[in-house]
């Protein structure tokens, strides 16, 4: 197990280098000059050139990239052009809000999605199954910005029970967590249903029922446990995606999260901030995938990593 973890960690290095190179090329291919944005619309050509030299944008692209990589080796993601603060500091300021939103959203997704999927799979082709699948289809198809706006109108305007935006307290996370959790639960519900239906007709399930095991134990102890591999996969992917910041949801609810910061940095042509955020998100995603792989062996003893 330890050798597998070390191998995966070493594999992260070329992966993240590839991400940084691709991101660097794409960002510098986008039209627009950040020096003009920083210097202002009334700046002279000399002032713009001075800003460009200060930022190192006048150097060849490959020289800029190698300088960026050498700084990465020291743990330096660069300095934001907007705030003139270290990019890592800007990320760490916003990342706790993104983590809280991710944890709350995934918790709602797991509770609702698993429950709906189990209800649907235990009575296939019934009214309960049809209603549950309609709910999951609604969750998959529903735009998060529309759902978020409807919740704001309902619970912040007509019934002022919850705040409509911000990220300064637990109450501010309730509505965005519901939006993301219910939107993601539709996918999990359908996947849970299909996974359980694959397992529930196998021989060992029929044997358990023939021995007189209660149906509740058959479903939750035998069937669900053997159907967890794809379920864990989708939960891990969703967790990694949300760690990158739910851009639309954070924008609708005016949350000071990582996704919103990435959009603001792109609009400002803040190269160091965009590159640092994308590399940070890629690192989180790789780490989450590693944790998911390790969870497989905990769920299924037949899976071993040597």
- Does 58 map to a domain? no
Read off the pLDDT band of 33 (50, 70, 90).
low
Read off the pLDDT band of 280 (50, 70, 90).
confident
User: 159-163, 173-177, 188-192, 204-208: which range is least confident on average?
Assistant: 204-208
- Which CATH number does the domain housing residue 213 bear? 1.10.3720.10
Distance, in Å, from the CA atom of 280 to the CA atom of 92, rounded to the nearest integer, reads 10
User: 127-131, 135-139, 177-181, 265-269: which range is least confident on average?
Assistant: 265-269
- Does 62 map to a domain? no
pLDDT of residue 1: 66
Report yes or no: 208 and 136 within 8 Å, Cβ to Cβ: no
What's the whole-number average pLDDT of the chain? Answer: 81
Read off the tokens for 85. Answer: 């603060």
Read off the pLDDT band of 38 (50, 70, 90).
low
State yes or no: pLDDT of 305 exceeds 60.
Answer: no
- Does 298 map to a domain? no
Q: What does the DSSP 8-state code read for residue 173?
A: G
Tell me the angle at which helices 61-73 and 2-29 cross, rounded to the nearest 10 degrees: 150
Give the burial class of 75: count Cβ atoms within 10 A of its Cβ; 0-12 exposed, 13-18 middle, 19 or more buried.
exposed
State yes or no: pLDDT of 260 exceeds 90.
Answer: no
- Does 240 map to a domain? yes
Read off the tokens for 52. Answer: 């460009």
State yes or no: pLDDT of 28 exceeds 80.
Answer: no
Range of the domain at 170: 90-268
Tally of domains in the chain: 1
pLDDT one-digit tens code per residue, 202-251: 888 788 878 887 877 777 777 777 788 888 888 888 887 777 667 778 88
Give the burial class of 160: count Cβ atoms within 10 A of its Cβ; 0-12 exposed, 13-18 middle, 19 or more buried.
exposed
Read off the tokens for 174. Answer: 């309730």
Distance, in Å, from the CA atom of 96 to the CA atom of 86, rounded to the nearest integer, reads 17
In the block, tokens 């969870």 appear at: 295
Calculate the alpha carbon distances from 2 to 6, 8, 239, 290, 305 in Å. Answer: 6, 10, 24, 12, 9
pLDDT of residue 107: 93
Mean pLDDT across the stretch 133-147? Answer: 85
- Does 113 map to a domain? yes
Read off the tokens for 213. Answer: 């095991």
Distance, in Å, from the CA atom of 58 to the CA atom of 210, rounded to the nearest integer, reads 76
Calculate the alpha carbon distances from 99 to 78, 185, 239, 281, 299 in Å. Answer: 23, 18, 9, 12, 25
- Does 182 map to a domain? yes
Backbone angles phi, psi at 79, to 5 degrees: -120, 135
Report yes or no: 136 and 112 within 8 Å, Cβ to Cβ: no
- Does 212 map to a domain? yes
Q: Would you tell me how many other CB atoms lie within 10 Å of the CB of residue 111?
A: 13
- Does 64 map to a domain? no
Greater confidence (189 vs 26) lies with 189
State yes or no: pLDDT of 306 exceeds 60.
Answer: no
Distance, in Å, from the CA atom of 86 to the CA atom of 253, rounded to the nearest integer, reads 26
Helices (H), 123-227: 127-141, 144-152, 174-200, 203-210, 215-217, 224-226
Report yes or no: 188 and 110 within 8 Å, Cβ to Cβ: yes
In the block, tokens 């996704």 appear at: 259
Calculate the alpha carbon distances from 191 to 186, 196, 224, 288 in Å. Answer: 9, 9, 12, 20
């Amino acid at each position: 197990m330890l050798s597998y973890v070390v191998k995966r960690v070493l594999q992260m290095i070329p992966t993240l280098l590839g991400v940084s190179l691709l991101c660097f090329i794409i960002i510098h291919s986008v039209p627009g000059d950040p020096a003009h944005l920083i210097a202002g619309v009334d700046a002279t050509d000399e002032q713009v050139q001075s800003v460009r030299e200060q930022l190192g944008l006048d150097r060849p692209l490959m020289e800029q990239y190698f300088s960026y990589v050498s700084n990465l080796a020291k743990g330096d993601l660069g300095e934001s052009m907007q705030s003139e603060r270290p990019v890592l500091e800007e990320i760490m300021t916003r990342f706790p809000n993104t983590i809280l939103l991710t944890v709350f959203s995934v918790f709602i997704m797991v509770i609702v999605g698993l429950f709906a999927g189990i209800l649907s799979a235990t009575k296939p082709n019934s009214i309960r199954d049809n209603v549950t699948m309609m709910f999951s289809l609604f969750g998959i198809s529903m735009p998060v910005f529309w759902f978020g706006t409807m919740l704001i109108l309902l619970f912040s305007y007509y019934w002022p029970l919850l705040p409509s935006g911000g990220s300064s307290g637990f109450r501010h996370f309730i509505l965005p967590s519901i939006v993301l959790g219910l939107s993601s639960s539709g996918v999990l519900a359908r996947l849970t249903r299909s996974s359980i239906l694959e397992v529930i007709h196998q021989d060992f399930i029929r044997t358990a029922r023939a021995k007189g095991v209660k149906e509740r134990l058959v479903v939750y102890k035998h069937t669900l446990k053997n159907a967890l591999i794809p379920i864990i996969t989708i939960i891990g992917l969703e967790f990694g995606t949300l760690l990158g910041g739910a851009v639309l949801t954070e924008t609708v609810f005016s949350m000071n999260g990582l996704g919103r910061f990435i959009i603001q940095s792109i609009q400002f042509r803040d190269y160091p901030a965009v590159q640092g955020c994308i590399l940070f998100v890629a690192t989180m995603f790789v780490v989450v995938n590693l944790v998911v792989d390790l969870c497989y062996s905990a769920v299924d003893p037949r899976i071993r990593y040597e």
